[in-house]
Amino acid sequence: MKKLNKTKSFLSLAIVATIVSLIGCSEDILDQKNNNAISTGNFGATLEQVESAVNGAFHPITGTFFWGRIAHAGALLRSDEFNIIPNGGNTVMSTFQGGPGNGRWATEPWQELYKSIARCNNIIINTPDTFSSTDINPLLGQAYFLRAFDYWYLVNLYGNVPLITDLPDFDNLLVDQAAPADVWAQIIEDLKMAETMLPATWTGDNTGRPTSGAATALKGKSYLFMKEWEKAHTTLSTLVGKYSLLPASEFGDNFGVNNENNAESVFELQFLGQSNFVWGTDIPQTGTMGNYHIDYAPPSKSPDFGHIVNPWLKKLYEDNGDTFRRNETLAYNYPGATGYGGIAYATDFVDDIAVANDNSVEPIFSKKYTGMDLGTRGEVDFLGTNVGNNWRIIRYSDVLLMLAESLNEDGQTGNAIINLNLVRQRPGSGLALTTAISQTDVRQAIIDERAMELAGEGHRFFDLVRWGLAEDYLGSTSKHVTNGSQTYHPKSISGGTFQSGKNELVWIPISERGTNPNLNQNSGY
């Protein structure tokens, strides 16, 4: 084979030499300009160019290698909601059994987020000041918002990351990690810029782009994670009344393909199921489908074997008499339970029930983002290529609960209760007001409410870490077992357990450390 390749190379060179001899010895023919290319020198000649660049900055985020799939398979499924069925290297991060030798689950999110950041930096730095503020601010505002979004996930996933807000310096590519406090400060500054530039709403084909309200919500969330309680509730309170909660009868519209970008949505990533599927590519009109279906579909439908939902969550719904959220979040044997295409639970989940029984766990399964609203099992592609549910990153109910939490932690428990009850009593919920009164009891009520309201939406693990509860519920002596809500560890199927001082963060990718020796590995890895 090697000899054949050498022969082909020699023949190719001979042909090229003959052509060159025919057209003369001048090298001018090789010095050609691509008049269609856009460089830093001519970038921003039109608003359309800047808009295309903004769209390009979003693409790595919704693609398969970040939110489209890999972030879920690794990082987000670490929470105590999910009992993961092992599938080789694909599940070692979500079961706390992986490390730097398990490449893609840490590598691909890192690379996609920095790819998006580089594109945002280019937009922010190279867009000329020749446009009116009315025309350019909505585009620049998206770049500031997205850069903050990217760094929000980098600092919460990896903790110790480089802070890059400039164009690449090719003489100094070996950047250092920044202090997390500096990353948080940059997130806040970018979101302040986005707030002033972004419109309150978008219309037409632009519906779903980040708004000033989305920037405010992410800024308030950032203050909450920084434990700056007063700044958090001062920021989040400005959003009260600007959005509204859907009636309990429409709660499922917060996760399905119908009624996307609705009155409760503050920010959602836009997905579109399509047959033009190329795995993980960064090419326009590809990679915008919900491959996350793989990670939330029930075991017999998921190529990765899926997961079982832990019984403590079921018990929490039942203890609160909460059926409307339970029915849109969980599938198990309750009256009227259904699965794909509205088929009765006992019929549709017969194979999944067997999987749960074989693993000695209670058969409870996810409903959000599984594609059950799209049709029968046979009508929903096993890779999720025809799943197009937008992912709701921030909902108004989340804003109200974050507001309640920051108020409570700042000693304003009475006001916290008001906002907590707004979520409990969305129109038609039938839920009673919280009975919690003391700061300690209200704190627990908010923790429980976030679990019921936001289950399966990618918040729980980050919440447990910032509350200092990850070890309590995911460690070797899980409170979910000792308090009687279930008899087995949340990760009992795999046998993995959370280790404090290590699993709060994922590992710095070994490939990145190999090319940049300035990057230090996270503790425990």
How would you write 8-27 as a 3-class SS string? Answer: HHHHHHHHHHHHHHHHCCCC
Token pair listed for 274: 């399509």
Query: What's the pLDDT at 359?
Result: 98
Query: What's the pLDDT at 103?
Result: 81
Token pair listed for 285: 């009109």
Residue type at position 153: Y
Does the pTM of the predicted model rise above 0.75? yes
Given a cut of 50, the residues of the chain with pLDDT beneath it are 1-25, 35
- Token pair 């400039």 in the structure block, residue: 166
| Structural contact between residues 511 and 107, judged by C-beta atoms closer than 8 angstroms | yes
Three-state SS at 517:
coil
Q: Are strands 365-366 and 330-331 parallel, antiparallel or unpaired?
A: antiparallel
Residue type at position 339: G
Give the C-alpha separation, 151 to 184, whole Å.
Answer: 8
For residue 341, give the DSSP letter. Answer: G
Query: What's the pLDDT at 387?
Result: 95
Query: What's the pLDDT at 39?
Result: 63
Query: What's the pLDDT at 212?
Result: 98
Query: What's the pLDDT at 15?
Result: 32
Query: What's the pLDDT at 18?
Result: 32
Query: What's the pLDDT at 169?
Result: 81
Query: What's the pLDDT at 287?
Result: 67
Let me know if 16 is exposed, middle or buried by CB neighbors in 10 A (0-12, 13-18, 19+): exposed
Let me know if 181 is exposed, middle or buried by CB neighbors in 10 A (0-12, 13-18, 19+): exposed
Let me know if 26 is exposed, middle or buried by CB neighbors in 10 A (0-12, 13-18, 19+): exposed
Query: What's the pLDDT at 157?
Result: 98
- Contacts of residue 514, Cβ cutoff 8 Å, sequence gap at least 6: none
Give the C-alpha separation, 485 to 470, whole Å.
Answer: 17
Query: What's the pLDDT at 184?
Result: 98
For residue 267, give the DSSP letter. Answer: E
